[in-house]
């Protein structure tokens, strides 16, 4: 069994919003970061998860139980 990937809190915030079907532009607006920074977090997460697509990364996180089942991330704070 592979060890659980170590995503940063910000990478998890971004991937939770990716899982909520948000675009990079929307995620950037929500987290007060640029869409390019969002994409950097997505690429880093995909690399750590060993996935080639955003959908694959979301699936992998869900299968590992690393995505909230509800609105747990409602407390997302900008520039954490």
Dihedrals phi, psi of 2, to nearest 5 degrees? -80, 145
For residue 58 the two structure tokens come to 């979301």
Instruction: Give me the pLDDT at residue 26, please.
Output: 98
**38 sits in which H/E element:** helix 35-49
Give the whole-angstrom CA distance, residue 54 versus residue 60. 10
Instruction: Give residue limits of the domains in the chain.
Output: 9-67
Q: Nearest CA to 19 among 78, 77, 64, 79?
A: 64
Contact residues for 3 (Cβ-Cβ < 8 A; gap 6+): none
CATH architecture assignment, domain 9-67: Orthogonal Bundle (1.10)
Q: What is the reported pLDDT for 69?
A: 62
* pLDDT value for 46: 97
Q: What is the pLDDT of residues 16-52, one digit of tens each?
A: 999 999 999 999 999 999 999 999 999 999 999 999 9
How confident is the model at residue 23, as a pLDDT?
A: 97
């Amino acid at each position: 069994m592979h060890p659980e990937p170590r995503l940063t809190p910000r990478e998890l915030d971004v991937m939770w919003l990716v899982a909520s079907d948000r675009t990079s532009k929307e995620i950037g607006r929500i987290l007060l970061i640029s869409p390019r920074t969002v994409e950097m977090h997505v690429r880093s997460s995909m690399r750590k998860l060993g996935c080639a697509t955003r959908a694959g990364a979301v699936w992998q996180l869900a299968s590992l139980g690393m995505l909230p089942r509800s609105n747990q991330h409602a407390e997302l704070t900008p520039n954490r």
